[in-house]
Structure 1
Amino acid sequence: MYKHHQSIEKVFVLGSTSTVAAAICRLLAQRGCQHFHLVARNDVANQQLASELQERYGAEVSLESCDLLSPEFTHPSQLPALARTYDLYLIAAGALGEAEQARQDPAEAWRITAANYSGLLPWLTAICTPERLRQPGRLWVFSSVAADRGRPSNYHYGAAKAALTTFCEGLQLRCQGKPFAVRIIKAGFMASPMTQGKAPAILCASPESVAKALLRRPNRRGIEYLPWWWSPIMALIRCLPPSLACRL
């Protein structure tokens, strides 16, 4: 196993306005990270985070606007920011979407898939070039515990996250023995606007606690559940018979 201990001083973030991405950026800035390239659809929220990182921590910040649902975004040549090399590539973009609507509206089903899987593929492809994988670096991708088993309540979201997980597992295996580390984060519920009213509060971890857990072992590779206790929970759920699983 290849090990490296490169510090994190330059970070590329896709989905930077998500609560967990913002928490990770703040913690990295506190620890001396010098440059952030923030990519998000919400330009106003992205600028607010950039201003905070600049004014509070003295970081250098560049911004980029991107809509994963845009059919025009298809080729890595449209990603000039990725010509630079970063110590960490953080992929935190995603959306629950409207699960009930997606059951009867193909357009909403497509939007959920694009936001959580297909829209990420050009970015992941542009990041994981043969040249980059020969250099020290990290790719952290947020998947979800919803990828572990289909549920009647949100199977479009779960299927998209399962596809993302499988894709990134392939990237991870491609990087075996290389200095570039791929980390797949199967996150449980987090306290955020996306989960408000859709998840029990007792099961919602704070984005700050997830950020601290990730940076506790910044060179880790492979799949991990965060918070950790989702691992035994999902092991149990995967074993449930269909008669019980259909009630989830």
Structure 2
Amino acid sequence: MGSTSLVAMAICRELLRRGCLRFHLVARNGETNRVLADELMQSQGVQVSLQSLDLWAAAKGQPTAQPPLEESFDLYLITAGSLGDAERARHDPSEALAITAANYSGLLPWLTVIATAERLERPGRLWVFSSVAADRGRPSNYHYGAAKAALTTYCEGLLLRCHGKPFAVRILKAGFMATPMTVGKAPPALCASPELVARALLRRPDRRGMEYIPWWWSAIMLLVRLLPPALARKL
């Protein structure tokens, strides 16, 4: 879900390299999604299906697509999200709701359908990309941070619900990555490549719990959380 993001594409390519033969790609941009599907299907025996999803529609009260119920997957990967227009969201409720839908409320129907009681009793994995922005409110993007904080809390509850079960939940608090989403917003030295992130995640595919990616963001966010309000206002 969010398969046209660079990190999702990198993970798909790494999964393909490791022998994955079945993909279901969900995204708003159908053209880019088809390009990725064609790339994956160049490998013999690989099956790919596509599904269109517009998370912004949830903010307008419109119904959104549902995940396929007829098939159970080994890995559910959710990388969908959007920074939105933080400046506009400060005075436009519709933009605030759109940011919330793209990063939290629009994902709830999918998470609910995926995490059924029956599915949690079978081996499987759910990887959800949250953000370090969830750790502390920042003047520059507090609507985005609040939505990611809600997503993190929801998934943490789901993680605890899966304790002792074969289904593993993995919450990924992502720092800056070298993608169009962070161009001009982050120092290049702090931006990890999607390919590096993909390899790191699949090095330990059965891991469950909450983690920062790349790992060094754990120390950075510890410092950010300890900042006094006077300094935090400058973030």
Q: Which moved more, 1:164-173 or 1:96-105?
A: 96-105
Q: TM-score, normalised by structure 2?
A: 0.96
Which sections of structure 1, spanning at least 5 residues, go unmatched? Answer: 1-13
Q: TM-score, normalised by structure 1?
A: 0.91
Report the equivalent of 1:146.
133
1:127 Cα offset (Å): 0.2
In structure 1, which of residues 116, 120, 127 is the aligned counterpart of residue 114 of structure 2? 127
1:79 Cα offset (Å): 2.8
* Equivalent residues of 1:39, 1:64 under 8 A apart: yes
> 1:72 & 1:37 partners in 2: Cα distance?
23
1:193 Cα offset (Å): 1.2
Report the equivalent of 2:92.
105
Change (3 A) 1:200 1:127: same
Length, aligned pairs only: 232
1:224 aligns with 2:211: yes
1:44 aligns with 2:44: no
In structure 2, which of residues 74, 85, 95 is the aligned counterpart of residue 87 of structure 1? 74
Report the equivalent of 1:23.
10
Report the equivalent of 1:235.
222
Which sections of structure 2, spanning at least 5 residues, go unmatched? Answer: none
> 1:203 & 1:58 partners in 2: Cα distance?
38
Report the equivalent of 1:114.
101
Across the aligned residues of Structure 1 and Structure 2, the Cα RMSD in angstroms comes to 1.1
> 1:167 & 1:83 partners in 2: Cα distance?
25
Report the equivalent of 1:3.
none
Aligned to 2:42, the other structure's residue is in SS state helix
Give structure 1 regions of 4+ aligned residues with deviation exceeding 6 angstroms: none
In structure 2, which of residues 125, 135, 144 is the aligned counterpart of residue 157 of structure 1? 144
Q: Percent identity?
A: 71
Aligned to 1:122, the other structure's residue is in SS state helix
Deviation by residue 1:127-169 (Cα, 9 ceiling, x = unmatched) = 0000000000000000000000000000000000000000000
1:194 Cα offset (Å): 1.2
Aligned to 2:51, the other structure's residue is in SS state strand
> 2:171 & 2:44 partners in 1: Cα distance?
28
* Equivalent residues of 1:30, 1:57 under 8 A apart: no
Aligned to 1:208, the other structure's residue is in SS state helix
Q: Which amino acid aligns with 2:62?
A: E
1:177 aligns with 2:164: yes
Change (3 A) 1:217 1:57: farther
